[in-house]
Chain A
Amino acid sequence: MTKAKKSLVCWALLSPFLLVVLFPYATMLSTSLKQKDEIFTFHRTWLPRELYLGNFAELIFEKGFGRALANSLAISVGATVLSLAVAIPAAYALTRMRVPGKGALTNYLLITQMISPIVLIVGLFRMFAYFGLVNSLLSVIIAHSAFFMAFAVWMLQSYFATIPKDLEEAAWIDGAGRFSAFIRVFLPLCLPGIVVTAIFTFVNSWNEYAMSLTLLRQVTQQTAPVQIAFLTGTLYQIEWHLIMAATLLASVPVAIVFASIQRYLIGGMALGGVK
């Protein structure tokens, strides 16, 4: 089978999945470009009457959705950076150093993942209230990073374990200190694993609802998912044109993050260094 034929067959087999994946996006895009009265017509069409951007304008200028996106972005980036800053050294220590109680610690990290965040929300609220951090984006950054850190440690740990120890040892003998070998040799090789973890943390934090809702009480501090939920909760009607525009805007940053760093996901960097 030629290469072209093979890829054609692959595409044919994958296209049903593609349909499932793209359908929500198509609906979002189509609905968000329609005017309010156009949405519930009897004869549904995919294409809007005209290219109407009024929904986005209303969303951003009247409903303050731009601010919500900015809040979400600040929280997600903050939570990703903070959790990686802790998880990378932690995972390194767990894979490369002798840590007393290593087994217990990794099991503990796993157990924390079994508890639903909802269960902890009242406790978390009280704790942040005690520190005077309610209504501060920092509280959500801390809460998110704490929640996603355990998973990040697990994921990084399993990736770090695949990097041959010989490489660091070679660097030590070449004259590098532990930190220098970590930065110059170990981290570059772990980049794919770190990127995957970063994406995961970012997406989780971006989509998180309950904690953001609880800890940020002011409208000006709402995150995108919280504000979208509030759009559905209007008293007399559900404003689908706005909701669809909002969900489209909320899913775009995630798509951009994925697209821009996916090249790092290609593994095999460690190939060829050791036989």
Chain B
Amino acid sequence: MASINLTNIRKQYGAVTIIDDVSIAIEDREFVVLVGPSGCGKSTLLRMIAGLETISAGTIAIDGEVVNDIGPQRRDLAMVFQTYALYPHMTTAQNIGFPLKLRGASQDEIGRSVAEVANTLHLDALLDRQPRALSGGQRQRVAMGRAMVREPRAFLFDEPLSNLDAKLRHHMRIELRQLHKSLGATSIYVTHDQIEAMTMADRIVVMNRGKVEQVGTPLELFDKPANVFVAGFLGSPTINLGNATLAAQDGSATLEFHAGSGPIDLANVPPSPHKEVVAGVRPQHLEVVSPEGVKLTGTVDLVEHTGCETNVILSVGSEKWTVQSRTRQHLTQGENVGLVFDPTNLHLFAADTKERIRW
């Protein structure tokens, strides 16, 4: 197993910069998830680690050894592709055994290892089938098996679950996590799905437009997003963000949303040099109350019942906000309601830099 260090990585196609000065240190046995919207460069970064893309500048080191000029064959990494990339002319057993065959292992050895991996992944009955005779979930397992059969220095996953249906995806997520626990292998996992990122990662790297926005544990990122992008990217439903003015009053601060609210007292927030801010409150942290005497109000547009939770979509001034409540809400469209939140759950970002204001 291995640690992987990316230092000042850059990737350019002509004048277009795809990856811009990215540095990430991945520790041995860590499960790191690269997450971001499509086109943010996360897959390119993974392919650069795998050796499938050249690096314009910077260094990639595996266990301290710089591998910039080493081909994918000799990096000793395993990768699971989004498309699975199973060899169509080979059976399941041949697919899984292929990396060992290339290393000149004996038939006995290959047979034993393949059987072992097939047993772990419940593929025993499918060893003689070709990929076209397998379902999506089974193909995914074969791709996993091919990666596991030799003990690589690290696993790379390129959106491996994105072609599966929701139920299977949930199931595979758990299996992958358990597999990681038992193998203890360094893993880098690329996804655009924040649920996958939150549930699987030891640490998440949020990327946007070729840059790293924030690195941290899932809860760190959720509780203390470094900027507006991270706040908006993680969490479902999306965080409610509104432009607001921060004012000082008797040694503490008040907040007034531009969309229309009275000054809300923020007892625990000390006065800040920032006046114009973006304020964010997660839907789970908002509560719908009667509008009397409440500074922040909205009108109900839509109520979504998901069974467990109720999502209330409201108009606050010209903005759309969401409230997620675990109690059933019996509201009607057009009803005027008040919104309250605990100021400790408020996220404040500078309006100009969009960076988090810490207090």
Contacts and interface: CB of A to CB of B under 8 A. Distances in A.
Residue from A167, A177, A273 whose CB has the most chain B CB atoms within 10 Å: A273
B72 interface: yes
Contact of B86 (A169, A177, A269, A273): A273
Contact of A173 (B50, B84, B133, B163): B50
Interface in B106-132: 130-132
A181 to B, nearest CB: 9
A189 B131 CA distance: 13
Contacts of A188: 89
A174 B103 CA distance: 9
A274 B87 CA distance: 8
A269 B89 CA distance: 7
A172 B52 contact: yes
B267 interface: no
Contacts of A269: 88-89
B136 A185 contact: no
Given A169-B52, A172-B52, A174-B146, A273 B102 contact: no
Contacts of A167: 85, 87-88
Interface string A233-275: 0000000000000000000000000000000000001111111
B84 A172 contact: no
A248 B139 CA distance: 51
Nearest to A163: B88
Interface stretch (B73-81, B193-201, B240-248, B315-323): B73-81
A170 B142 CA distance: 13
A180 B103 CA distance: 12
Contacts of A273: 84-88, 131-132
Given A272-B130, A272-B133, A275-B139, A176 B85 contact: no
B189 to A, nearest CB: 16
B262 interface: no
Residue from A171, A180, A189, A274 whose CB has the most chain B CB atoms within 10 Å: A274
A123 interface: no
A89 interface: no
A190 to B, nearest CB: 11
Contacts of A173: 50-52, 72-73, 75, 77-79
Interface residues of A, number: 23
A272 B98 contact: no
A166 interface: yes
Contacts of A169: 50, 52, 72, 81, 85
B23 interface: no
B83 interface: yes
B77 A272 contact: no
A171 to B, nearest CB: 7
B37 interface: no
B89 A171 contact: no
A189 B85 CA distance: 13
B133 A274 contact: no
B102 A275 contact: no
A268 to B, nearest CB: 8
B102 A274 contact: no
B237 interface: no
A132 interface: no
A157 B188 CA distance: 35
B86 A272 contact: yes
A16 interface: no
Interface in B132-165: 132-134, 136, 139, 146, 150, 163
B71 interface: yes
Interface string A161-199: 000101101111111110010000100110000000000
Contacts of A164: 83, 85
A131 to B, nearest CB: 41
Interface in B46-105: 50-52, 71-73, 75, 77-79, 81, 83-89, 98-99, 102-103
Contacts of B72: 169, 172-173
B132 A271 contact: yes
Contacts of B73: 172-173, 175-177
Nearest to A268: B132
Interface of A: 164, 166-167, 169-177, 180, 185, 188-189, 269-275
17 contacts: A166-B85, A167-B88, A169-B50, A171-B87, A172-B71, A172-B73, A173-B52, A173-B75, A174-B99, A177-B73, A272-B88, A272-B133, A272-B134, A273-B84, A274-B83, A274-B86, A275-B84
Given A175-B103, A273-B87, 17 more contacts: A164-B83, A164-B85, A166-B85, A170-B86, A172-B52, A172-B71, A172-B73, A173-B77, A189-B89, A269-B88, A270-B88, A272-B131, A272-B132, A273-B86, A273-B132, A274-B83, A275-B163
**9 A-B pairs with least C-beta separation:** A272-B132, A273-B88, A274-B83, A170-B85, A166-B85, A174-B99, A272-B131, A175-B102, A172-B72
